[in-house]
Amino acid sequence: MLAVLVIGVNSVLWGGVGLLRFVDERLARWRRRRRGAVDPPAQRLTTSDVAVLMAAHDEELVIAHSLAAITELVPAGNVHVVSDFSGDATAELARVAGVQVLETATNVGKAGALQQGIDHFGLAGRFGAVLVLDADTQLDPAYFDVALPMFDDPRVAAVAGCAETRWNPAEVGFRGAVVVAHRQRVYTLTQRLLKYGQTWRGVNATHIVPGFASMYRAAVLEQIEVNPSGLVIEDFNMTFELHAKQLGRVAFSTRARAYTQDPSHYGDYVRQTSRWALGLWQTLRRHRPRRGVFALMLTVLIAELLTSSVLFVVLPLVVLLLGAVELAGAVGVDTAAQVADAVDDHVGLVPLLLAVVLPDYLLTCAVALVERRPRYLYLGLFFLAMRVTDAVIALRTLPRAWRTPSNGQWVSPTRRAMVPDGSRVLAPEGFGTTV
């Protein structure tokens, strides 16, 4: 039971669906090769039809490099930056890059900045699709080759980007490597074991189109309430709006990759993760559940999130208690020995650790294999502490969603300066495999 909680019921269920999708797509590709080349639809979207919308707040360390990367893929005139009351050179650097720039009069938050950008530049009426891109993010050169054909299906309302975090062990240090590698492990597992299956044709069950590098059909974006009051982040709400208003399905491919910069400082990680967790709870508060596959998936997801969070919060306390009891019993304290015998009838320290540590570490080994990063094998020894952190954050932010409204104002994590190296994209070291 503990092993299932650690690995996740959703991971097992949607991982199985993802395996069926994988086989189905390989068979479809084989059938297409047998039929020969097929010309693309005459109305297929191109990069000229894509508007890029970037909300940025004090991002001078990273925005110039990100804009240089995106303007190699789309015309600079298609890129629109909304500087959300920045106090640094964010807006000036965007103008130097030759893109469209809007500065907000006050700090309105990311959702408010996106909404102002959509309205001010008239994006919904001028373009076929809108890419929402974070200021610290660069697209893989093949992103549009993978993502734009998904809009050939008129039922597709949005294409979710596949997140990969960019980090260098020498740059972030050992503690920073644990923090960033844990986040990348979360990305790898959730995208391949959950989202890949949840976005198979006809399923449409994913609960988030991440706001770091995802595309929306422009006509659909016009029908989404991007900036409702009281929410701290926008991407959960925008995804729930797609489902609630039945605007279309979400498409996803692990090959539509984008490289982002995640926090390497523990405090920044806690603040960012708290913001994301609070955003999920606030969105659940705002959107009433409806019948369907999405609602069923969401119910199982939330139930699992709560039970696993309680497990990982209680786990350290139980381990300390069992360790203390066994130690006291070993040195001859009669009462402690009796307690230890009684506890051993139900659970022992070693079986408990094996039931939690072993399956969690096997997941880390799988990620190390997929990403071809052997260092995960020793960094993974410290991931349980990060999972305890995530559990505390999930439970701590839950009551805040009903107790305190948010104004959406934001402060980005501490950025690591990007140094151009002559390549279009600084891909993560050792990354190159796909599912």
- Determine the Cα–Cα distance for residues 88 and 275; give it in Å rounded to an integer: 23
**pLDDT mean over 245-261:** 96
- Average pLDDT estimate for 95-122: 96
Contact 102, 82 (CB under 8 A): yes
Confidence of residue 415 (pLDDT cuts 50, 70, 90): confident
Closest among 418, 302, 361 to 6, alpha carbons compared: 361
CATH number of 1-24+46-412: 3.90.550.10
Written as one letter, the residue type at 139 is L
Position 157 pLDDT exceeds 80: yes
Sequence ranges of the domains in the chain: 1-24+46-412
**CB neighbour list of residue 19: distance below 8 Å, 6 or more residues apart:** 197
12: Cβ contacts below 8 Å, ≥ 6 apart? 4
pLDDT, one tens digit per residue, over 373-400 is: 999 999 999 999 999 999 999 999 999 9
Residue 7 or residue 210, greater confidence? 210
